[in-house]
Chains A and B, each alone.
Chain A
């Protein structure tokens, strides 16, 4: 990927992200966004991150392809995240399961 198209991506995402952070604080101080919009925004994070996780794990140029050790790692990481509420515990358990299942299989 070329320098300029990469930079264009980074600058665009950065500028619009800043706008999203500043929009109400700077622009609409005193007003609030409708409750229904705020509720939908709460669902965006979980939905897109879940779709992103499985896409990175199973998607790509070759089409749908999910290795068993990767599937096991994602399930383990999810379970530990739910249980411990910690990214570092979840990440280490997921990687440990990935290596373990790959070694066994």
Chain B
């Protein structure tokens, strides 16, 4: 099996995985606090394998309706459609099983690496992609389990229940690359705050819809002057 492991992929993915360890740990703590049975909450790691959505699902469970929790988790993951579209041409040169299996580990970090190495010859890309993806996948399992196991030893005075929202703020600001995304985040946050008192966490959906709409308007506004100049 060692022959199948791509050393370059390990070298590339390790620096991306290390910052994910504290995230996995906090997620493990959130699993412990979740209204879900702990085993089911942890099962989000092997089944869902998407940190932000996992954190949302285990944190919101029990505080909103089942449908609200599902919608929140899915809306966060819609960006994966974009990754899928971006990598589709590269995967066209791969066998069918690689398309099915590879899709399963298509998270932010793996997408970033795959996009960077998209010009590798198909057989090298396959080894590279699967090594990076499953390296992240396997290590993600223990890093979330660690938070789950160590969680009870963490004193309440540390107020780690606020770690998830803080982490989401970090993910928002790190993910902003363009002005319309900044507008989407700002409007999403302001509307989300104004509607935070609504039952069933409806404020998340309200903020998300308002933010996406504002971002799209900003997109067109930014495009118009450029279009008329061309």
Contacts and interface: CB of A to CB of B under 8 A. Distances in A.
B189 interface: yes
A1 B36 contact: yes
A59 B158 CA distance: 20
Contact of B80 (A12, A17, A50, A91): A17
Interface residues of B, number: 99
A104 interface: no
A70 B166 CA distance: 9
A21 B86 CA distance: 11
Given A81-B169, A86-B19, A13 B70 contact: yes
B184 A46 contact: yes
Interface string B181-213: 110111111011100111001011111111110
A52 B168 contact: yes
Interface residues of A, number: 74
B88 A52 contact: no
Interface in A14-71: 14, 16-18, 20-26, 28-33, 38-61, 63-64, 66, 70
Contacts of B168: 49-50, 52-53, 56
Given A6-B41, A48-B204, 6 more contacts: A10-B40, A21-B84, A30-B88, A42-B180, A49-B168, A50-B211
16 contacts: A1-B36, A10-B36, A10-B57, A14-B44, A17-B74, A25-B99, A42-B180, A43-B211, A50-B185, A50-B188, A53-B165, A55-B192, A55-B201, A64-B193, A87-B19, A95-B158
